[in-house]
């Protein structure tokens, strides 16, 4: 049974930084993709960034140049470094892992950007 442990998040002022971490346990070496999604109130969940085992990375256009995703395949961890935060980045952020054909979600962590 794959389990995800998220950490990080919280509050920041516009222009500030936050860091999200996610560790997957129970998956062995079979993780295909690790990433982060977010969901703001009244909106659909959307992809923020993801990284495949091959090293391919996808970013949501609005976070390019501000957010950086990194993954440690040996440790099964993924980190999202968020810089130059904007109020519109406010949302619940969810870690997402695809392994063995299954899609696994973390419990979510709140990110609030306001002055």
pLDDT tens by residue, 10-31: 999 999 999 999 999 887 678 8
Q: Are 21 and 68 in contact (CB under 8 A)?
A: no
Residues of the chain with pLDDT under 70: 28
Token readout for 76 is 């099964």
Residue 100: the pLDDT is: 85
pLDDT of residue 30: 83
Q: Hey, what are 70's tokens? A: 């990194």
In the three-class reduction of DSSP (H, G, I as helix; E, B as strand; rest coil), residue 89 is classed as: helix
């Amino acid at each position: 049974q794959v389990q995800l442990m998220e950490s990080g998040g919280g509050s920041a002022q516009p222009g500030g930084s936050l860091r999200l971490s996610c560790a997957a346990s129970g998956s062995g070496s079979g993780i295909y993709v690790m990433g982060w999604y977010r969901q703001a109130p009244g909106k659909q969940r959307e992809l923020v960034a993801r990284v495949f085992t091959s090293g391919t990375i996808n970013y949501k256009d609005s976070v390019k140049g501000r957010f950086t995703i990194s993954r440690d395949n040996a440790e099964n961890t993924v980190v999202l470094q968020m810089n130059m935060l904007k109020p519109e980045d406010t949302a619940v952020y969810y870690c997402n892992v695809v392994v063995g054909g299954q899609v696994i979600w973390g419990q979510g962590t709140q990110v609030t950007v306001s002055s």
